[in-house]
Amino acid sequence: MAHRIIFYISVFVIALLSTTVNAQLNPNINKVLDNAENYYYGEACSQNQQEAEEYATTRLLSSISVKVSSDFRSFQKIDGDANNVEYERKVENVIKTYASASLNDLKDEKEPRDCGIYVLKYIEKSSVESIFNYRKQLVKDMYDKAERYEGEGNYAHALKYYYFSSILLNSIPVAKVEHRGLNLGLEIGDKISNIMNSARFEVISDKMESDKKRVIVLGITVDGKPAKTLDFEFWDGNNNVSAKTIDGTASIVLLGSSVQFPSVKVRVKYAYYEYRNEMKEVGELWNLVNKLTIPGDHTIDLREKPKKKAEEFGLAPVNDNLSLKYTSSIGEVVENVNELARINPGDVEKMVPGQLESLENYFNKNTRVTEFEKDKFLDDKLAALKKYNNLDISEFSSRSDINNTYDGWEFRQLTSNAHYPSLNIQSKEYLIPDFDSSGTMTDVNFGIMDGLYDDFKRASTFGDDWDKRQVIIKFVEKYRTAYMTRDLEQLGVMFADEAVIIVGRVLKVDDSDTKEFAGDENAVEYIEMTKTKFLDRQETIFRSQRDIHLGFTTFDIKKKNGENGVYGVAMRQAYTSSGYSDEGYLFLLIDFNGTEPKIYVRAWQPNEWSEEKILQLANFRVNF
């Protein structure tokens, strides 16, 4: 009788067993093995069924890899020879990444044996192409997403998703993957190259703030249009530093001996190694497939005077273009409407410039400001902004609007540059000072992008709800700033005591809650973390990390249908700290029916890129 090998798996031993060990109870097992020429299969036996299933799947994928290894050698640029052991191992590992995909035609048979639970995993050879179909569709979906971001001018996201799609593409053993009549194998590289080569970096301002500090403001375009987002890297004399473009401009800070640089070489960022695990398959494939290498260096000559004027990029000195924006509808929803009505807006407009100048001196020149010190909250907030973000205030701003808010006024906005030394990150940031009804500064928070703010204002005309949307914008700005200043007290105030913090798979809500925010069981399952546990966890993180950068790259506001005052906010969040980084979707469910807005649900979905899979407002029902 012919013998075959079965893998018996324990913690330390893999034993080889004969088919004669015991009689088979499952006739389908013999049916597959007796017609082995028609199947790819893997078999294993263990006292633990899950372990047996995993090893059987591994053996199945190994058998498939033998078949497709020649295809990889022909179509993909994997280094090595087909007879080389290292090459075969690499191909096998590429194939194993498909275990996390949808193996729709994969079947299994199980039966008890002396060795434990025997598992046979198999798939018809004629159906093996189906295991690549999921990956092909993933490449196409990611390419479409990147193309959409490119059309919006969000080049940072576009480049990342183009690059990730190229990595996935190089794991598919076919000569060509077509999408909408395009050969993606050629198209993706061209897309990345075109963005990188058409990027332009123009010096707007070059200011030597001291003999050890030089601040350079850049205007950045792609195809002649301001880049809403574009990440780039430059050498500062000691490290390769990442910098972020927001709304067409960015700042870079040179310190120490680098202030004497005659030029700076910048490279558009497209690989995003730190976010490779955003998609499980991309992370698994990162070191297994050859990756695109696209030259994209740009040299900025610092010996010449700036040729571009600030106004060409929508910038102007902060106090030169103050614009008072008074929206009377805001006053209709606040208790102090009569007080606001008595305030002369012109008086507020006169008070703001001096306070903005004091703020600039506080951050740029370390000047003590007596009026700030009188307000302990504001004094502590400014100290935390300086300590954790190393801010420099720019002399230019893209807008200088004084807007009335639900309880006073805001200045939108000061432009600043934040620096995180241990992360080698410099990031353009907007600062939004808040003033009380008399025009005295009371708070400062990081602001959202200009384009998003304007989009939300336009959208409010359809629902006549700018009062709520403005509060949401400021609420989210304050929420992000609490992270960036490590303010646990502020975070605690913003969450309802019965808040549901979702971090995993199963959502549970205490039956004693007066308000119920229950997950739709047909949508997604999650794990709940209590508010106290969440804040304790954040305190540990804040204490252990030297630098933390938190950025929202997309931001959407949705009103709950049929529920007055309940809104969902979805944001794409990029988190980087001294020991960890990830990117995913953050969802907040905010209730405005109390005296103050409160977060009732916070759902964090790390390493998720698909908008179809993220938590939505429709996933919750709200019971009062």
Residue 289 sits in a domain of what CATH number? 2.60.40.10
Residue 114 sits in a domain of what CATH number? 3.10.28.20
Work out the pLDDT band at 203, boundaries 50, 70, 90. very high
Residue 153 lies in a domain: yes
Q: Are residues 139 and 35 in the same domain?
A: no
Residue 460 lies in a domain: no
Residue 578 lies in a domain: yes
Indicate the number of domains in the chain: 4
Residue 490 has pLDDT above 60, yes or no: yes
Q: Which domain holds residue 336?
A: 315-447
Q: Are residues 167 and 117 in the same domain?
A: no
DSSP string, 507-560: ----TT-SSEEEE-TTT----EE-HHHHHHHHHHHHHH-S-EEEEEEEEEEEEP
**Which of 81, 106, 128 is the endpoint of a domain?**
128
Q: Are residues 166 and 254 in the same domain?
A: yes
Work out the pLDDT band at 15, boundaries 50, 70, 90. very low
CB 432 within 8 A of CB 478: no
Residue 395 lies in a domain: yes
CB 475 within 8 A of CB 590: yes
Instruction: Give me the mean pLDDT over the 261-272 stretch.
Output: 95
Residue 515 has pLDDT above 50, yes or no: no
Residue 470 lies in a domain: no
The mean predicted confidence, pLDDT, of the chain is 81
Residue 511 lies in a domain: yes
Q: Are residues 63 and 121 in the same domain?
A: yes
Residue 43 lies in a domain: yes
Q: Are residues 170 and 295 in the same domain?
A: yes
Q: What is the pLDDT of residue 20?
A: 37
Q: Which of 230-239, 476-485, 596-605 has the lowest mean pLDDT?
A: 596-605
Q: Are residues 583 and 494 in the same domain?
A: yes
Q: Are residues 73 and 183 in the same domain?
A: no
pLDDT in tens, 476-489: 899 999 999 999 99
Residue 357 has pLDDT above 70, yes or no: yes
Q: Are residues 236 and 156 in the same domain?
A: yes
Altogether, the residues listed in the chain come to a count of: 624
- What is the 8-class DSSP label of residue 452? H
Q: Are residues 504 and 583 in the same domain?
A: yes
Work out the pLDDT band at 381, boundaries 50, 70, 90. very high
Higher per-residue confidence, 585 vs 490? 490
Residue 485 sits in a domain of what CATH number? 3.10.450.50
Work out the pLDDT band at 231, boundaries 50, 70, 90. very high
Task: Count the neighbouring beta carbons within 10 Å of the beta carbon of residue 375.
Answer: 15
Residue 476 lies in a domain: no
pLDDT in tens, 72-89: 665 555 555 545 677 777
Residue 265 has pLDDT above 50, yes or no: yes
**Which of 87, 104, 128 is the endpoint of a domain?**
128
Q: Are residues 278 and 326 in the same domain?
A: no
Following CA atoms 555, 559, 561, 564 in sequence, which dihedral angle do they give, to the nearest 10 degrees?
160
Q: Are residues 217 and 168 in the same domain?
A: yes
**Which of 85, 109, 128 is the endpoint of a domain?**
128
Q: Are residues 443 and 507 in the same domain?
A: no
Q: How far apart are CA 380 and CA 369, in angstroms?
A: 13
Q: Which of 125-129, 398-402, 567-571 has the lowest mean pLDDT?
A: 125-129
